[in-house]
A and B are shown apart, each in its own frame.
Chain A
Amino acid sequence: QKEVEQNSGPLSVPEGAIASLNCTYSDRGSQSFFWYRQYSGKSPELIMFIYSNGDKEDGRFTAQLNKASQYVSLLIRDSQPSDSATYLCAVKVNRDDKIIFGKGTRLHILP
């Protein structure tokens, strides 16, 4: 069974620091990896996707993928209170398949 595991948190990070969110997945055939942000009472918002091993940077966000270790992470630099949300890691095995979501990590940025 395909699984995506995340620490549920809450993860508390001081404002201005780097928040590090981690995720592991079970299916070695996974090809696409996503991070979504979900504010309370709202729908998920896609913030990063990564397909190849290594790092991908977009503004304050960096996604890191290590397929050998079946590990994907999200770094948020210069954390802001507005970054407080639940972050969902998601994995797609092939291009047309559904996405498998983790249960999410609650991030709390301390002002």
Chain B
Amino acid sequence: GAVVSQHPSWVICKSGTSVKIECRSLDFQATTMFWYRQFPKQSLMLMATSNEGSKATYEQGVEKDKFLINHASLTLSTLTVTSAHPEDSSFYICSASHPEQYFGPGTRLTVT
């Protein structure tokens, strides 16, 4: 149990476009999901906490208008990177509480 999926697993997009990443809890309901970003050879960085039915809580320094988070159901949270730039290229990982945090497989984003 406690399986979390992400889609897509990798995506390449052009600078200025938007990309949506989905995070799903497959065998449990998650009122809280988390979005992380990890650059190569660096540690995990928490971007935001996503709560079902309410606004996400963003960490200091994370632009909420650039990284749009929607948690419309107990099994799905989405992260949209708007107007992506090459510096947004990273490994984006979600996790869901059950009650321990279980991570999805991650989405590798490359912005050209």
Contacts and interface: CB of A to CB of B under 8 A. Distances in A.
Interface residues of B, number: 16
Q: Contact residue range for chain A?
A: 20 to 34
A34 B101 contact: yes
Q: List the 5 shortest-distance A-B pairs measured between CB atoms, nearest first.
A: A43-B106, A103-B43, A43-B103, A43-B93, A44-B103
B25 interface: no
Interface of B: 32, 34, 43-44, 46, 49, 91, 93, 99-106
Given A95-B99, A96-B32, 16 more contacts: A41-B91, A43-B104, A43-B105, A43-B106, A44-B44, A45-B103, A46-B100, A46-B101, A46-B102, A46-B103, A49-B100, A98-B46, A101-B44, A102-B43, A103-B43, A104-B43
